[in-house]
Chain A
Amino acid sequence: MNRPIDIPLLLEKRISTESRELRQAVANASQVVIFGSTSAGLQTSKSDLDVFCVGDTAFKFKSAWLDLTVSTRAEVESADWLGSELANHIGCYGIWLRGNPDWRDGIRIGDHAIDRKRRRIKAFMRHLPLAWDDLESGYRAKYGIKLRRETQRLILLESGVPVPPTVLLDNLWISHRDRCDDVLLKLQSVCPAGFDVEKLINAASLATMSAKPGIERNVNHPQLQRAAQVLLGFEQRGSFVPLKTRPIVGQFISDPVDLIISVP
């Protein structure tokens, strides 16, 4: 069941314990935007709060409860920003608490964002096989999950779809593993000869087996539905897919949320 959340109050609580400088930066920002799982209605009590501000000085801050990025006006007007994965995510899912989303009309997933994602996946796949035998199972799981998520994001970016909150990627993967062959094929295409991508992905499976009751959420955000369509390959079929995932917990996996996605 979707529970209404007072986002301004949540922000106030999350920054109240931080430094005076940080609070000042948020107070003086010309734009304050909430993004990530909270803005998409997929947050849990353990979710951090993702905040984007336009301010005088660029900086980043991250804690267990708050992930803050402050960019300058010049930065958000740059082509690099407007084409970036983050700008497209914020533009699509962001909730403006202050200021106008005046740069949002200029966003478009740029070639740079796609190239960066490809480069990152390739870099991991180039070096991971060399170190695989030395990595303890927890780290293998970490890379299994990381590479799977990054590949899902790449598929979305290549399809011109803004990347949704990670909880959706995880839930789609767990609930429709049999329909996610594109991810494996894409990973395999950059994998060095002799390294089995299934091995990498399976290393992550142990981390997803533990089950706890999830929070049920109806996903009716059109862009979330679009992302689900692309990742599940329903682009051509126009199918209606009621989707209720197994709850998942574990290392690097999102908090348990049962998503019910209706793909029109």
Chain B
Amino acid sequence: MSRLAKPPDRDVLAKISNAIEVIEQHFQWQGFPSKGTAEEDEIDTDNSDKDYDLDDSEEGSDVFDAEEIEIAIDAFLSQLIKNEIVKKGKGNRAPSMESVFNQMFGEDHEVAKMVEEFEEHVAGYFGWISFDDMKKAYSQLMTIKEILAKMVDGTNE
């Protein structure tokens, strides 16, 4: 496979950019964007609107469920499939975010590399994602969205 592919057309780019909002909304629901570190930033640490069980809070409230972001990413990818931007593989195989962007843009494209890093940040450790990793992931997601927007506008070819 080519390490740099011809980017999708603007219509497709716009649809991808719109679909990314599914993930963005998840971060916003978690209190992002934030400005400080976990200690400085108190916006998320309440979680009072969430139905957390007591045994889920043992490691403190400045960590996030990796499972939750995984579902948000799959909802994003589902939109791409429903919009026929992405095809499923054999046997109803649902693709990963990294494979979708690698295929669309090529492995060496800045968006594909950023997606790879984003997925590393949200991979978590034993199911938990640290505040700093979430913050970095959110920042990367916004950058990806920005790059896509520029490509749609034709200012980042």
Residues of A within 8 A of B (CB): 115-116, 118-120, 122-124, 126-128, 131, 134-139, 141-143, 206-207, 210, 249-251
Q: A127 — which chain B residues lie within 8 A by C-beta?
A: 65, 67-68, 71
Q: B82 — which chain A residues lie within 8 A by C-beta?
A: 136
Q: B89 — which chain A residues lie within 8 A by C-beta?
A: 251
Let me know if B94 and A250 touch, CB within 8 A: no
Of B33-41, B48-56, B110-118, B141-149, the stretch lying at the interface with chain A is B48-56
Q: A127-B71, A142-B94, A249-B91 are known contacts; what are 9 more A-B pairs with Cβ within 8 Å?
A: A120-B67, A123-B56, A124-B67, A135-B71, A135-B78, A138-B93, A141-B94, A206-B92, A250-B92
**Distance A119 CA – B68 CA, assembled complex (angstroms):** 12
Let me know if A123 and B79 touch, CB within 8 A: no
Q: Is B4 an interface residue (CB 8 A)?
A: no
Residues of B within 8 A of A (CB): 22, 51, 53, 55-56, 58, 65-68, 71-72, 74-75, 77-79, 81-82, 88-89, 91-94, 126-127
- Can you list 18 pairs linking A and B with CB atoms under 8 Å apart? A118-B55, A123-B66, A123-B67, A131-B72, A131-B75, A135-B78, A136-B77, A136-B88, A138-B88, A138-B93, A138-B94, A139-B74, A143-B71, A206-B92, A207-B92, A249-B91, A250-B92, A251-B93
Shortest 10 CB-CB distances between A and B: which pairs? A138-B94, A136-B78, A123-B67, A139-B74, A123-B65, A134-B75, A250-B91, A251-B93, A127-B68, A138-B92
Contacts A131-B75, A138-B93 given: A123-B81 contact, CB under 8 Å?
no
**Distance A141 CA – B88 CA, assembled complex (angstroms):** 13
Q: B51 — which chain A residues lie within 8 A by C-beta?
A: 126
User: How far apart are A144's CB and chain B's nearest CB, in angstroms?
Assistant: 11
Q: A249 — which chain B residues lie within 8 A by C-beta?
A: 91
Selected from A123, A137, A250, the residue in CB contact (under 8 A) with B127 is A123
Selected from A118, A135, A207, the residue in CB contact (under 8 A) with B74 is A135
Q: A139 — which chain B residues lie within 8 A by C-beta?
A: 74-75, 77-78, 94
**Distance A3 CA – B123 CA, assembled complex (angstroms):** 36
Which residue of the partner chain A has the closest CB to B72? A131
User: How far apart are A190's CB and chain B's nearest CB, in angstroms?
Assistant: 9
**Distance A123 CA – B92 CA, assembled complex (angstroms):** 25
Selected from A118, A128, A135, A207, the residue in CB contact (under 8 A) with B91 is A207
Selected from B81, B92, B127, the residue in CB contact (under 8 A) with A119 is B127
Interface centre among B56, B65, B72, B91 (most CB of A within 10 A): B91
Which residue of the partner chain B has the closest CB to A85? B126
Which residue of the partner chain B has the closest CB to A112? B126
Let me know if A251 and B92 touch, CB within 8 A: yes
Selected from A135, A142, A207, the residue in CB contact (under 8 A) with B75 is A135
User: How far apart are B20's CB and chain A's nearest CB, in angstroms?
Assistant: 14
User: How far apart are B79's CB and chain A's nearest CB, in angstroms?
Assistant: 7
Q: A116 — which chain B residues lie within 8 A by C-beta?
A: 126-127
User: How far apart are A75's CB and chain B's nearest CB, in angstroms?
Assistant: 13
User: How far apart are B5's CB and chain A's nearest CB, in angstroms?
Assistant: 21
User: How far apart are A76's CB and chain B's nearest CB, in angstroms?
Assistant: 17
**Distance A136 CA – B80 CA, assembled complex (angstroms):** 10
**Distance A124 CA – B88 CA, assembled complex (angstroms):** 23
Contacts A120-B67, A127-B67 given: A136-B56 contact, CB under 8 Å?
no
Let me know if A134 and B78 touch, CB within 8 A: yes
**Distance A141 CA – B89 CA, assembled complex (angstroms):** 13
Which residue of the partner chain B has the closest CB to A128? B71
Let me know if B56 and A122 touch, CB within 8 A: yes
User: How far apart are A153's CB and chain B's nearest CB, in angstroms?
Assistant: 13
**Distance A118 CA – B67 CA, assembled complex (angstroms):** 13
**Distance A205 CA – B89 CA, assembled complex (angstroms):** 17
Let me know if B56 and A119 touch, CB within 8 A: yes
